[in-house]
Structure 1
């Protein structure tokens, strides 16, 4: 048993040091991704609006977009994310560039526009893949989720009778206090670390099925990546598509209890998704496809009818980001995300102290790959900058100018991250 505990301790230490830098950056970015929509609301004045007195007025929003930008293509409309948020529309200009419009919910008037590269997009894309091409970046993130789970299990194996220590915190002086806090916070964060690790690993499983399995990535859709292929519309192709407002009315008639959150018009198919009474699923679990020209239903998906595998697929994202019960749960996820980042940093700091105690301890606990791991981690982070610029140019038809509030949030986060990483690196160098 003692041998198992020593081995588990070394494994716990190894995973914390070898992957510590990248794992910290991943968890640090994910922590802010949890509240990214709220940060956008704070950083972008045009994203704020007074709530509408009645139901969502999709017809007024569509009319407002066409009045504001008549020569553009409407790519999608989204209902306000909160009671004091604006409705949003994504448009494409004749030159291929995209803009994000903010619409007053009550009147449909466009009250501002901005770059589609928001705080939310920055944190989600960075957290998902470090801006490395998705087929590789997702696997890297999933591998870090594995190390997080291994560190969790190893920590429980060497921490004797851990189930009795949830209310045991000894206030020591000096470095011993950090060890006590590390173990105490780690115990109370077990549930959170398990959720983050399992769902993070799941993203890799999904990607592996797409790349190396049967190529499926969704339960229903119009492409070959869907298990259920949506039928082709059979209406006259010479007919123009119906208005968004008319198609929204058809979708509401088909699912009266569904509150639509996002609609995407197309020349052939109209897509809508929304929220029902289902627990722990993202809006796309409840979706509708209509013939864009006739309004005839092509597919109507209820989250409650999904097979277990696909139901879990729609549950993993809300669990990972705490996006299933409003702002209080998001704030809970944010706080525990900070605690997880603190666990990573304090664990590495304590390992650095063990290296500094004596030559014997240095030989016992030192991992020769530590220096290389730090260099590789830094290279990944540095490489994410040009990769991000390249991806944004491809996705948005150039690098759109960012609004000042978004720039302040992103740059502030980057500066704070650099400061924390500098302290992290210094602690590893300490002897």
Structure 2
């Protein structure tokens, strides 16, 4: 059942997962490149020094922001006209445009909502949930196929698409679980299933009513390294009751524009810190090494989507259409097939053709459809049983052993079992041996 669940969930959502994974890879690359280009404040530079330098370059300064990459941007009014730019922290002067990168904006929109608004966000969240389920079910299936955790890194054989699917999954599963869980958390916040408010301390208590205190001498800003800044909003110059609003990676506070002293402070709460950690782990902004890792994992997810479809197509194509398949009720020879990727069906078709040429009425069917009452004229049963991984039943043999064990009287016609397997597994042809053992246990000749 788990294999069918893994297969059909993956197939139904393969396009969603493929697009989300590729766009996630692209965003990881953009974040890493941005981090490489960013001009960061010096380790010794303070918020007071940074703000003073930018204010000299832009007297109408309204806000300074530092991105997770370290890039500093400023917004101001000059002659009544708004302006913005990425600035050099060392000089405060413009370095480049602050307008969002159109490439980043495009990939972000694809990744978050597929350009479908809230409906697209629901689809993206569903894709994240599916990826989590696929990662968990795929891990369980891989462990079963490989023969246990001890063989997790064992060499694989078989068709390229299936081998590549499992090999990539073994490496990418940790990153896929991390991306899926963090995406679900962020989706829950977006749709207010989780309500985590930003740190806030209400109104500023008792401003001094003065203005014009030099930025470089402000005690509250001199005590903070520029590398901890997230946002500094400037007060209106003609309003002595207005204050600086300071946001850092530790919380938010108000600074008096007339004295430079901290009027109030609210640190980040536990869940706010968790939320910010989740955001960082998903986007890797400000963590280029993590960004490279997540980008590689996202690319692996895209390949997994493609190889999963290829594996299914190979099984569908490899299962031949059995020509002149005799009705079950009239067959004298019954060929039952247990196959995972379709190749055993090819052997069954060849065998059926040869038997038919010899004058037999042959019915070919999956092992999962077995019941003696369906074959009243059967004179012989031939079972072609492949093994999935290290001893498991293949897809088309599900439930066969259970039905066999429920028989009170075995069929009168004799039976033969032919096993197919991979010698790379300790339990070579393990499922065929299980079938043979059960047949002997019920006394079937």
TM interval, short-chain normalised: 0.5 to 0.7
Matches of 2:212 and 2:179, distance apart in 1:
43
Larger radius of gyration: 2
Q: Does 1:31 align with 2:20?
A: no
Q: Name stretches of at least 5 consecutive residues in structure 2 with no aligned partner.
A: 236-241, 323-338, 341-445
Task: Work out whether 1:200 is the aligned partner of 2:183.
Answer: yes
The whole-number CA distance in structure 1 between the counterparts of 2:105 and 2:154 is: 41
Cα distance, 1:269–1:240 mapped onto 2, change above 3 Å: same
Shift of 1:207: 3.0
Task: Provide the residue aligned with 2:72 in structure 1.
Answer: 87
The CA RMSD measured in Å over matched residues stands at 3.7
What is the CA–CA distance in structure 2 between the aligned matches of 1:288 and 1:81, rounded to whole Å?
20
Instruction: Provide the rounded CA distance (Å) in 1 between the counterparts of 2:99 and 2:217.
Output: 29
Tell me what 1:298 maps to: 264
1:220 aligned partner: 199
2:139 pairs with 1:156: yes
C-alpha displacement at 1:290, in angstroms? 0.8
Q: Which residue matches 1:56? A: 45
Shift of 1:147: 0.8
Partners of 2:120 and 2:154 lie apart in 1 by 40
The correspondence of residues 77-116 of structure 1 with structure 2, limited to 5 A, is 77-78=65-66, 81=69, 87-91=72-76, 99=84, 101-116=85-100
1:186 shift after superposition: 0.6
Which one of the candidate residues 114, 120, 128 is aligned to 2:112? 128
> Is 1:13 paired with 2:12?
no
- TM-score, normalising length: structure 2: 0.59
Relative contact order: is structure 1 or structure 2 higher (C-alpha 8 Å, sep ≥ 6)? Answer: 1
Structure with the largest fraction of helix? 1
In the TM superposition, what is the alpha-carbon distance from 1:73 to its structure 2 partner? Answer: 5.0
Q: Residues 261-284 of structure 1: CA distance to partner in whole angstroms, max 9, x if unpaired? A: 32230544544344xxxxxxxx3x
Number of the residue aligned with 1:260? 228
Any conservation in 2 of the 1:76–1:91 contact (CA below 8 Å)? no
* Residues 145 and 197, structure 1, Cα contact 8 Å, conserved in 2: yes
Q: Show the counterpart of 2:281.
A: 319
**Match 2:253 to one of 285, 289, 294:** 289
Q: Offset at 1:354?
A: 2.6
**CA 1:188–1:80: 2 relative to 1, 3 Å:** closer
TM-score, structure 1 length as denominator?
Answer: 0.61
| 2:44 equivalent to 1:76 | no
Q: Give 5+ residue unaligned stretches, structure 1.
A: 1-6, 222-229, 275-282, 366-431
Indicate which of 295, 298, 303 corresponds to 1:342.
303
- 1:54 to partner: Cα distance: 6.1
In structure 1, C-alpha distance between the alignment counterparts of 2:256 and 2:120, rounded to whole Å: 36
Structure-1 separation of matches of 2:34 and 2:103: 6
Query: Which residue of structure 1 lines up, in the alignment, with residue 204 of structure 2?
Result: 233
Distance 1:262 1:158, change over 3 A: closer
The 3-state SS of whatever aligns with 1:316 is: helix
